[in-house]
A and B are shown apart, each in its own frame.
Chain A
């Protein structure tokens, strides 16, 4: 049945269209939290104030207080740079290494490519959190160790993605033309392939930041990452464990923050994905 290109199937408006502005607002808030927490947070995130412990949300303390009387909202604001900062660092480091690795593998082709990809496959066989636990045990706790172990887990995803793209783009006419002209493989990689790959990678980076954040907070929750009194979001939730049965705000707000950030990164990533050509 030939229906011409102006095919009239009724498409419902994509939900992303409505959510994207919300996601961008969240993004703006996070940027503010990360860069200028001092301007936003009304209280000191670290100083104890035992007379105010475990107070429910109020105008003075929008997210309530924790067991040390500290304002939860302020702690959340200051925590952004730890939780989100580490997540971003992890994703960028993994992406950097993964992209280089994948690009080289794809361009090399043949047996070297095979071997390099086998190594990548190997990494996919390891369960992430468990390995992170082992690495933290071995190398000591702290956000640095968390960053390292999560980077080790994340980079193969980028390697595979980029190598796939490189292989696909190698077959494109403009690349073949360049080869025929005797352009070196390295220059081909830089000029003809990487620009296209970068778009894909950007989409993945955006969505991965959300996932990395969840992973970082999970490790902190287990006690591998940050230490008290750092207001890292996962740590906040860990600290809330003895109290959250009655002090619900202690659990809800840090978690909601994580969730909102992860969802926003997912939405923005999807929006980027649908915008790229083809």
Chain B
């Protein structure tokens, strides 16, 4: 074990020594023993605030195994790993973490705060993948009549798309149903179950949805990028 003089300034310590001390303190954390977070936090500080490449590499090396273990214990790990590799999730987590902390100029005061943020990033990355899984599940990849249709966002911003749809729907209840069905992905019966005071009868949700589809299809010239050219 390398000894560290207590009066040695953290910001002057060699990175390799910081890494070693950080590893030792992490072991203490795992044993639920009192640990000194300053060494790990100094690596975070140099990587994020100081933007030192070597510190960023050291941070990833030190904590990527932890991210991997969190991923393996994630309740949606199996589904997530069908979409991408473990290595890519770890890399994506550090990448998203880097952009977020850099944008907000975060300087963590405790190791718990830093690791909570890193864990939150991983959890978000996995959940975003699950969202895209749910989005693609309903639509065959090569739909006859709509081959290689670009995503809406490629031509119009998501918010702009929503505003166009809203402008075509005259009734507030239609707008609400369109939002709950298409944007939130609720089924008509789920809408009735979750919003019984607004929509007590599933038949009404079906009727409103028929009206919405008819209205959108009548305006397909304005929504070609959304509904395509195909006629059924």
Are A and B a genuine interacting pair, yes or no? no
